[in-house]
């Protein structure tokens, strides 16, 4: 049974990452942390499992471990998280080849593959160079969303050139941690600045969720805490009038116009690649970012878990725990130019990660 889940934050929200107050780059403590725009797929899975657990459905005993397809009884699979507006139009992350001018006009950069020169990439000399015309390194490329129905491109709040229509808004909260001041008897480490995010009016997160046939989604809680700071989200499950495979087909049609000439793989989700050297050898180049991934594990005795607390220490069996293992994913919206299409697709395909919405991609201009 497939349902479309819609998640709407009731206020500003916070989805943390590797950079926390207690753990910054090179082990230095932070005073400023920012929220991710989207939750991790494992976070979404945890939220749905929490709903099922509260409603009395079986959710399995194991957390996602990356080694095998999770067996969660009532929950079978989850698609990548994307966006839906009030007109029931779906939006996916736009390929990372888009630039914006001061008038908020979004256009793809023009790329060409030249065989007359050489470039040192992937640890060896290549007899092709990728030319990107119209790209200003000082301005960079925008992170945008693409409406699959209208093909409209909408920017994000963190793009400095974007001044008009936005999907995400940010808000900084500045304060002093009183508990630290009392404990330390001074202001050391007490000042902090935290950036929260909100969704613009008319937008929600969404994903397709596959349940076992015995699940009645009307029995699931409609308001749940989600993410850092336990912010409240309104959650609804709707009959799925389409599915993720049809969304991928629509994305191929909508994105083809943005990359009209080149064989490309577009990442519709964050993607884990186990053999990076082989992956680099299978591509001519690409435009993508790497992002850290660390999942949260649930203790075996799930009925005694304090879902509101998170620890990184061993031996605390009653709390959720951050995994010791950190991976690097290719971020959604990445554009890959393969020179060995079959080999590249094989390296990007991972049934374990795709079962919860990672490692999802489409091929544009396939021969």
Residues 6 or more apart in contact with residue 227 via CB below 8 angstroms: 13, 14, 15, 16, 39, 43
Between 8 and 63, the more confident residue is 8
Does pLDDT of 5 surpass 50?
yes
The predicted-structure confidence for 141-153, as pLDDT tens digits, reads as follows 677 899 999 998 8
| Helix (H/G/I), strand (E/B), else coil: 256 | helix
| DSSP label at residue 302 | G
- Position 256 scores a pLDDT of 86
- Position 209 scores a pLDDT of 97
- Position 164 scores a pLDDT of 59
Average pLDDT of the chain to the nearest whole number: 81
- Position 233 scores a pLDDT of 94
The predicted-structure confidence for 294-320, as pLDDT tens digits, reads as follows 776 665 555 545 554 555 555 555 556
Q: Which residue's structure tokens are 């780059």?
A: 25
Q: What average pLDDT does this structure show over 35-46?
A: 91
Give the C-alpha separation, 23 to 299, whole Å. 23
Between 272 and 122, the more confident residue is 272
Does pLDDT of 346 surpass 90?
yes
- Range among 23-32, 128-137, 272-281, 302-311 with highest mean pLDDT value: 272-281
- Range among 108-122, 193-207, 350-364 with highest mean pLDDT value: 350-364
The predicted-structure confidence for 164-215, as pLDDT tens digits, reads as follows 568 888 888 766 664 554 455 444 556 667 788 889 899 999 999 999 999 9
Find the range with the poorest average confidence among 60-69, 239-248, 354-363.
60-69
Find the range with the poorest average confidence among 13-17, 42-46, 351-355, 362-366.
13-17
- Position 137 scores a pLDDT of 65
Range of the domain at 221: 2-364
Element (H, E) at 246: helix 244-256
Q: How many domains does the chain have?
A: 1
Find the range with the poorest average confidence among 174-183, 289-298, 334-343.
174-183
Q: How far is CA 68 from CA 84, 260, 271, 296, 353, in A?
A: 31, 38, 16, 16, 9
- Position 66 scores a pLDDT of 85
Give the C-alpha separation, 256 to 260, whole Å. 6
Strand arrangement of the beta sheet that strand 296-297 belongs to? 296-297, 319-322, 306-311
Q: Closest by alpha carbon to 262, among 361, 130, 98?
A: 130
């Amino acid at each position: 049974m497939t349902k479309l889940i819609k998640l709407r934050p009731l206020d500003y929200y916070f989805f943390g990452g590797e950079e926390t107050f207690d753990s910054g780059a090179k082990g230095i403590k932070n005073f400023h942390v920012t929220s991710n725009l989207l939750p991790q797929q494992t976070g979404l899975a945890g939220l749905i499992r929490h709903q099922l657990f509260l409603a009395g459905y079986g959710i399995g005993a194991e957390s996602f471990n990356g080694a095998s397809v999770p067996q969660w009884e009532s929950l079978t699979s989850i698609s990548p998280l994307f966006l839906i507006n009030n007109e029931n139009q779906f939006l996916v992350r736009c390929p990372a080849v888009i630039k914006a001018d001061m008038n908020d006009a979004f256009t793809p950069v023009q790329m060409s593959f030249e065989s007359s020169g050489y470039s040192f990439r992937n640890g060896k000399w290549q007899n092709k160079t990728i030319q990107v015309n119209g790209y200003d390194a000082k301005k960079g490329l925008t992170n945008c969303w693409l409406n699959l129905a209208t093909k409209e491109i909408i920017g994000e709040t963190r793009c400095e050139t974007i001044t008009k229509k936005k999907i995400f808004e940010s808000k900084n909260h500045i304060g002093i941690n009183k508990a630290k001041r009392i404990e330390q008897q001074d202001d050391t480490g007490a000042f902090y600045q935290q950036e929260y995010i909100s969704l613009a009016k008319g937008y929600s997160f969404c994903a397709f969720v596959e349940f076992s046939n015995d699940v009645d989604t009307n029995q699931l809680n409609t308001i749940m805490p989600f993410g850092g700071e336990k912010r409240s989200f309104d959650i609804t499950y709707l009959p799925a009038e389409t599915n993720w495979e049809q969304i991928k087909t629509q994305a191929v049609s909508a994105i083809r116009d943005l990359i009209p000439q080149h064989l490309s793989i577009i990442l519709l989700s964050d993607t884990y690649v186990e053999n990076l050297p082989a992956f680099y050898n299978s591509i001519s180049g690409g435009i993508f970012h790497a992002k850290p991934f660390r999942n949260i594990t649930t203790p075996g005795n799930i009925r005694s878990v304090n879902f509101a607390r998170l620890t990184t220490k061993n031996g605390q069996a009653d709390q959720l725990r951050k995994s010791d293992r950190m991976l690097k994913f290719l971020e959604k919206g990445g554009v890959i130019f393969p020179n060995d299409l079959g080999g590249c697709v094989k390296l990007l395909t991972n049934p374990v990660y795709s079962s919860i919405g990672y490692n999802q991609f489409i091929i544009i201009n396939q021969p």
